[in-house]
Amino acid sequence: MAADRRTALVTGAASGIGAAIATRLEADGIDVLAVDLQPAAGGPGTAFKADLTTREGNRAAVDAALERFGRLDVVVANAGFQHVSPIADFPEDRWDALIAILLTSPFLLAKYAWPALAESGSGRFIAVASAHALVASPFKAGYVSAKHGVLGLVKTLALEGAAAGITATALCPGYVRTPLVEAQITAQAAAHGLPADRVLEEIILAPHAVKRLIEPAEVAAMAAFLVGPDGASFTGVAIPMDQGWTAR
Ligand code: NAD
């Protein structure tokens, strides 16, 4: 028998934005399966280890949520990484891995979770996309391509899910203070030949009109809004949260 509490599957939940979303949804009274390649000990949520670049990993994550909670109302496809490289040198295996985690995993999660989301009556699918779902930057061919692709997936899911009360949205943050961005500061320093201490100001924050990193909790607050009843009319859309980046 399905439990009374709503439940969520959050990927990449051991770090950064995913950890903030899992923490916030749990605080809002939602049972969370916190899926990650390297699960965090001690929460948030119930940790589950899976490699989401594989079909088996995505299947196992959805099965685990249903086995543990008996229902699944929310999927947050968030896990990811970045690879920065000029196109002529872009490693083909990194391209494949970026597409697998940023585009194919959201597709597989939606596919496997779809019957449960429909049964929920207020199913929510959220892809943590990026401002890079809307605009490009040099040296990020794999990431930008996958993020543009996941916006197409979200639009399609919104149309298919409408009759069943499932919404699908793409959260599109600018730069957020997480380990992924810290790694990019190092990578961009190499790509642009700049010292790391100048990269945040001159490269990372260059596209932001407001010159500060976004905090993970700010992204989590938007996810919580979308998951709640007031988020019901947002579907099939990108939701920029980008310090004015895409206003240019
Ligand atoms: P992060 O590196 O802090 O966390 C990413 C998590 O994903 C890690 O815990 C990692 O273990 C997990 N992960 C990676 N590969 C996995 C796999 N194969 N299977 C399971 N888990 C895997 O990164 P973050 O900054 O919190 O990014 C989260 C999402 O937000 C990503 O999709 C990223 O593209 C997006 N995003 C980040 C920013 C930013 O500025 N940080 C901006 C826009 C969008």
Nearest ligand 1 atom, CA 175: 40
Threshold 0.85, pTM exceeds: yes
Which residue out of 112, 125, 143, 175 is catalytically annotated? 143
Per-residue model confidence (pLDDT) at position 214: 97
Say if residue 1's pLDDT is above 80. no
Residue 128 in contact with ligand 1 by CB distance below 6 A: yes
Distance separating alpha carbons of residues 108 and 101, to the nearest angstrom: 10
What is the per-residue pLDDT across 199-242, written as a single tens digit (0 to 9) for each? 988 888 999 999 999 999 999 999 999 999 999 999 999 999 99
Residue 123 in contact with ligand 1 by CB distance below 6 A: no
Distance separating alpha carbons of residues 234 and 167, to the nearest angstrom: 7
Locate 173 and state its tokens: 């943050």
Locate 132 and state its tokens: 């890079």
Distance separating alpha carbons of residues 23 and 34, to the nearest angstrom: 10
Q: Name the residue with the closest Cα to ligand 1, atom 16.
A: 37
Query: Where exactly are the structural domains of the chain?
Result: 7-176+214-240
Q: Which of 145, 180, 213 has most ligand 1 atoms within 8 Å of CB, for mutation?
A: 180
Distance separating alpha carbons of residues 108 and 93, to the nearest angstrom: 20
* CATH number for region 7-176+214-240: 3.40.50.720
Confidence of residue 192 (pLDDT cuts 50, 70, 90): confident
The stretch 120-140 carries a mean pLDDT of 97
The stretch 118-132 carries a mean pLDDT of 98
